[in-house]
Structures are given as C-alpha cells and as structure tokens.
C-alpha cells in the first residue's frame, strides 16, 4: 500500500498540488493501481536480463553533419510570451 507521504512526494515531483480530500481519495486509488501491476512480481524472472528496449535494434547512429533546423520565428512562434527571440518563463522560485 502506498503511504500518504509517498503520494504527496510523487505529487510534488510532478508539480501537482492537491487538496486534502483529493489526497484522501488518491491514496487508495493509486494503491489499487500499484497492486494490480504488482502481479508481474509473481513471475519467476530469475536468470533473465532486465529488458531496456522492446525492439531488437542497436547502434542507430547519425553522421555528425548539420541539417537545417527552424528559424527563430518558427521556433518561438508557439510560445505564449516571447521577448527578443527568447521564450519568457515565470520567475523561477
């Protein structure tokens, strides 16, 4: 079972802020999800290498050759606030 403290910690890492009643609801919900996934732990995986990639590919490399990217206008065009070609972000606390 996931602890209240763990729920708060994960929320903080995700920059999510919850009200008390939301935390009370989320704790058992998250616990049930974790228990469901935990079924995998019942499998005997001894002697197996951990899988990092599901696709049998390796060494996909690119030559060190420049290719054109975006213009400054294109790059910043979707930014909600732009100043002198740079993205404006709120004050960093």
Partner 1 sequence: MSAGPADPGRARGAGVGGGAGRDGWEAVIGLEIHVQLSTRTKMFCGCEVTFGEPPNTHVCPVCLGHPGVLPVTNEKAVEYATRIALALDCRIAKRTIFHRKNYFYPDLPKAYQISQYDLPLGVGGHLDVERDDGSILRVGITRVHLEEDAGKLVHAGGASGRIDGADYSLVDFNRGGTPLVEIVSEPDISTPDEARACVMQLRNLVEQLGVSDVNMEEGSLRCDANVSVRRPGDPFGTKTELKNMNSFRFLQRGLEAEIERQIAALESGERIVQETVHFDPATGTVSTLRSKEEAHDYRYFPEPDLPPIELADAFVERVRASLPELPAARKERLMAQYGLSSKEAGLLAANKPLGDYFEGLAAAAGDVRTSANWVLGDFSAHLNAAGLEVAQSPVTVDRLAELLGLVSRGTLSGKMAKEVFEAMAGTGKPAGEIVAEKGLGQISDAGELEAIVVRLVAANPGPAEEFRRGRERVLGFFVGQVMKETRGQANPQLVNELLRRHLGGPGG
- Chain residues that interact with partner 1, rule: CB under 8 A: 9, 12-13, 15-19, 22, 52-55, 57-67, 69-72, 75-76, 83-93
**Least Å distance between CB 43 and partner 1?**
19
**Least Å distance between CB 18 and partner 1?**
5
Q: Count Cα neighbours of 85 within 13 Å in the Cβ-side half-sphere.
A: 3
Nearest Cα residue to 27 out of 12, 43, 6 = 6
**Least Å distance between CB 56 and partner 1?**
9
State which residue, 1 or 10, has the beta carbon closest to partner 1: 10
State which residue, 47 or 85, has the beta carbon closest to partner 1: 85
Rg (CA), the chain: 23
The DSSP secondary structure of 38-52, one letter per residue, reads HGGGGS--TTPPPPS
Question: Apex CA 18: angle with CA 15 and CA 19, to 5°?
Answer: 155
State which residue, 3 or 72, has the beta carbon closest to partner 1: 72
């Amino acid at each position: 079972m996931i602890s209240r403290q763990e729920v708060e910690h994960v929320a903080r890492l995700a920059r999510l802020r919850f009200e008390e009643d939301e935390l009370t609801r989320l704790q058992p919900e998250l616990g049930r999800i974790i228990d469901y996934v935990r079924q995998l732990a019942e499998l005997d995986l001894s002697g197996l290498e951990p899988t990092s990639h599901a696709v049998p590919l390796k060494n996909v490399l690119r030559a060190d050759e420049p290719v054109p990217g975006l213009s400054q206008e294109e790059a910043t065009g979707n930014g909600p606030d732009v100043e002198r070609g740079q993205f404006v972000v709120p004050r960093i606390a």
